[in-house]
Chains A and B, each alone.
Chain A
Amino acid sequence: EVQLVESGGGLVQPGGSLRLSCAASGFTFSSYWMSWVRQAPGKGLEWVANIKQDGSEKYYVDSVKGRFTISRDNAKNSLYLQMNSLRAEDTAVYYCASKYGPRYFDYWGQGTLVTVSS
């Protein structure tokens, strides 16, 4: 059974940093693109970042470029999102998702809530 379990969310002050983790199991993690998708309270889904199977390519939505960094450790079957210079508008549930190339997100975690507030 495929499982994606996010952790690391919490309350952080504006300008602060947070590192999210996603532990994957039940599939060959190293064979998949991986992504982070977020959802602000009461709002829709927003793609945040993608990373290629070997970590050599990374892509970001414009609003997080230069502030967020996606990374992975295939030996640990883990995905990460380092979030710096956080803003109130980054408040959201962050989902980890496996991605079938450019085509679709096939498996999703349950999400971790990040709240940016003073």
Chain B
Amino acid sequence: QSALTQPRSVSGSPGQSVTISCTGTSSDVGGYNYVSWYQQHPGKAPKLMIYDVNKRPSGVPDRFSGSKSGNTASLTISGLQAEDEADYYCCSYAGSYTVVFGGGTKLTVL
């Protein structure tokens, strides 16, 4: 049950694209197509942004996209906007009805 590895911070200017990586193992990220991503603004509850690696819930802008290769999943945010500034967490199913989160990435919009 070790946390997934995310960069502590990323940044980009409005209109640019950024990608946040999430590295696990073959027992979690690499073993299942059950990676999800959550956005959390300060003092707020997390919000689901991507599920099943690359699916977007209703209401999430298509500027948010997800992908996976091997043991690493990625969240890409294109056309950065000021309101995208937040913490982002990846999460993966890890077998036996357990899940593991990443350590979180702080996105700064310059």
Contact = CB atoms under 8 A, between A and B. Distances in A.
Interface of A: 37, 44-47, 50, 57, 59, 61-62, 95, 100, 102-106, 108-111
13 contacts: A44-B89, A45-B38, A45-B40, A45-B46, A45-B101, A57-B97, A61-B1, A62-B1, A103-B36, A103-B93, A104-B51, A105-B46, A106-B57
Given A104-B51, A110-B45, 20 more contacts: A44-B89, A45-B38, A45-B46, A45-B91, A59-B96, A59-B97, A59-B98, A61-B1, A62-B1, A100-B51, A102-B93, A102-B97, A102-B99, A103-B51, A104-B91, A105-B36, A105-B38, A105-B46, A108-B46, A110-B44
A46 B101 CA distance: 6
Contact of A106 (B32, B48, B100): B48
B34 to A, nearest CB: 5
B3 interface: yes
B102 interface: yes
Q: Interface range on chain B: under 10, 10 to 19, 20 to 34, or 35 or more? A: 20 to 34
A46 to B, nearest CB: 6
Contacts of B57: 106
B45 A95 contact: yes
Q: Which of B46, B89, B96 has the most CB of A within 10 A?
A: B46
A37 B36 CA distance: 15
Interface in B18-60: 32, 34, 36, 38, 40, 44-48, 51-52, 57
Nearest to A46: B101
B39 to A, nearest CB: 11
A108 B104 CA distance: 17
Contact of A104 (B36, B97, B98): B36
Nearest to A4: B45
B12 interface: no
Contacts of B93: 102-103
A93 to B, nearest CB: 9
B104 A105 contact: no
